[in-house]
């Protein structure tokens, strides 16, 4: 839990910030409030806050002077300046004095959370930099081929392969020199590569970010070999759990995609447009479709459109041009070519053959006997599920 000190001479602003942390920002605890710089310095000395929200203009010791004093006394404290637009020059000076961020009043909740996120990420990077200092070549090369297998397992939601490869990979990490710094570096590298691939593997971006922050926090606290074992166990458990949940989620998404396609055959159903609509990368959605249907996206869409075209040809009096538009073909000539290539005869001849099959009429009026036999063989060729 990060400790927060609020320094603001306006009570309304202090109350707003305190309520925000209590209700919306759960990983931070307000441990004190000050209405001037002198109080801020005293509270910082006694309670060692991790984050300080500092107003610039206050009676007595202002925020600029208080920032300078506190940074000398507690260099690791993160100070965020609160300022009105006309006080921007003071904010610039405060940043030079050691403050890390500034916010224009009244600060919005999303702006405050973004600043806290930036500070946290900088802290993680700083810890990482400190850890690698002085290792003098003690890092050893590990088998990066296992990383590739892991990413493949994530993409395919192969939980069994994920578990076995993940255990091997993390056990390899534990064979490195028993220096926490070495393990931290390897784990940071691994998590960085891993989370970069989670979205490509179809994970919800918010979930991927949540996992990354959880892993980073665990790694940053790693001090002993036992800590490393616990951290690795956390990574394995969280990844397996997330992968299983993601597999269920992706199956539901594919069902939604298929339902949308069937209900909107006349619309633009390009892979890019569907991917954008359902928040997937085109490549990943294509892989999902192949896994769930056995067909690539263009193959599945083409089969679905032709199946609907055949239904309309058999059961409606719509002309060929209208049917082409109904199933998503803008040009009737293109529709005719695709239909004939897949079915073996033109849409017109398909309709005639089906009509004659139903009525017992003479097919020679519109199609040869050879075409009739061929048409009969092709009547139900297209996959319609």
pLDDT in tens, 163-194: 777 777 777 766 655 556 667 777 777 787 77
The answer on pLDDT for 123 being more than 60 is yes
pLDDT digits (tens, 9 = 90+) for 322-352: 999 999 998 999 999 999 998 889 999 988 8
Q: pLDDT digit string (tens) for 286-314?
A: 877 887 888 888 898 999 999 999 999 99
Burial environment of residue 205 by CB neighbours within 10 A (0 to 12, 13 to 18, 19 or more): exposed
The helix/strand/coil state of 253 is helix
Q: Is the pLDDT of residue 88 over 60?
A: no
Equal CATH topology for 2-126 and 298-378: no
Give the tens place of pLDDT for each residue, 6-24: 999 888 888 899 999 988 8
Measuring CA to CA, which residue among 293, 225, 219 is closest to residue 254? Answer: 293
pLDDT tens per residue across span 192-248 = 777 777 766 666 667 777 888 888 888 888 777 777 778 888 887 887 777 766 666
324 vs 91 pLDDT, higher one: 324
Q: Is 260 left (phi over 0), alpha (psi -120 to 50) or beta?
A: alpha
- The whole-number pLDDT of residue 274 equals 86
Q: Which residues contact 138 (CB under 8 A, 6 or more apart)?
A: 177, 179, 182
Q: How far apart are the first and last CA of the chain?
A: 53
In the 8-state DSSP scheme, what is residue 223? Answer: -
Q: Which CATH class is domain 298-378?
A: mainly alpha
Least Cα distance to 183 among 242, 224, 212, 237 occurs for 224
For residue 239, with 0-12 CB atoms within 10 Å meaning exposed, 13-18 middle and 19 or more buried, which class applies? buried
- Region 65-82 average pLDDT: 91
pLDDT at residue number 353:
83
For residues 12 and 55, what is the distance between their CA atoms, to the nearest angstrom? 13
CATH 3.40.50.2300 fits 2-126, yes or no: yes
Residue with tokens 């309304």: 12
Which residues 6+ apart lie within 8 Å of 349 measured at CB? 366, 367, 371, 375
Share of the chain above pLDDT 90, in %: 22
Percent of the chain with pLDDT over 70: 75
CB 18 within 8 A of CB 35: no
- What residue spans define the domains of the chain? 2-126, 145-246, 298-378
pLDDT at position 33: 95
Q: What is the pLDDT of residue 371?
A: 47
Q: CA-to-CA distance for 18 and 33, rounded, in angstroms?
A: 9
Q: Which residue has the tokens 């993160």?
A: 78
Q: Is the peptide bond before 195 cis (omega within 30 degrees of 0)?
A: no
Q: With left for phi above 0 and alpha for psi between -120 and 50, is residue 360 left, alpha or beta? A: left
Kindly indicate the confidence band of residue 365, based on its pLDDT and cuts at 50, 70 and 90: very low
């Amino acid at each position: 839990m990060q400790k927060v000190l609020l320094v603001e001479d306006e009570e309304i602003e202090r109350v707003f910030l305190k309520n925000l942390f209590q209700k919306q920002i759960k990983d931070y605890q307000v441990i004190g409030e000050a209405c001037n710089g002198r109080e801020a310095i005293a509270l910082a000395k006694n309670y060692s806050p991790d984050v300080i929200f500092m107003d610039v203009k206050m009676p007595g010791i202002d925020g600029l002077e208080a920032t300078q004093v506190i940074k000398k006394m507690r260099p690791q404290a993160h100070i965020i300046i609160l300022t009105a637009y006309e006080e921007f020059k003071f904010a610039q000076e405060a940043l030079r004095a050691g403050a890390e961020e500034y916010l224009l009043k009244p600060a919005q909740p999303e702006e405050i959370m973004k600043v806290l996120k930036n500070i946290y990420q900088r802290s993680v990077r700083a810890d990482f930099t400190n850890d690698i200092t002085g290792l003098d070549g003690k890092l050893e090369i590990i088998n990066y081929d296992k990383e590739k297998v892991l990413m493949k397992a994530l993409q395919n939601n192969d939980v069994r392969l994920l578990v076995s490869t993940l255990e091997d990979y993390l056990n390899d990490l534990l064979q490195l020199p028993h220096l926490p710094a070495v393990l931290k570096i390897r784990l940071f590298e691994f998590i960085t590569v891993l989370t970069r691939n989670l979205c490509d593997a179809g994970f919800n971006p918010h979930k991927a970010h949540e996992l990354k922050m959880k892993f980073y926090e665990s790694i940053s606290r790693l001090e002993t070999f036992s800590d490393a074992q616990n951290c690795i166990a956390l990574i394995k458990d969280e990844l397996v759990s997330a992968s299983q949940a993601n597999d269920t989620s992706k199956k539901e998404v594919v069902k939604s995609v298929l339902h949308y396609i069937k209900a909107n055959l006349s619309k633009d159903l390009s892979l890019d447009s569907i991917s954008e609509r359902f928040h997937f990368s085109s490549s990943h959605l294509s892989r999902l479709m192949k896994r769930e249907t056995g067909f690539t996206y263009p193959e599945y869409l083409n089969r679905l459109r032709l199946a609907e075209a055949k239904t309309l040809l058999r059961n409606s009096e719509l002309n060929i041009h209208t049917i082409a538009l109904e199933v998503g073909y803008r040009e009737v000539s293109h529709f005719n070519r695709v239909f004939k290539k897949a079915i073996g005869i033109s849409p017109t001849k398909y309709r005639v053959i089906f009509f004659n099959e139903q009525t017992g009429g003479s097919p020679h009026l519109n199609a040869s006997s050879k075409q009739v036999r061929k048409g009969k063989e092709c009547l139900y060729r297209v996959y319609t599920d």
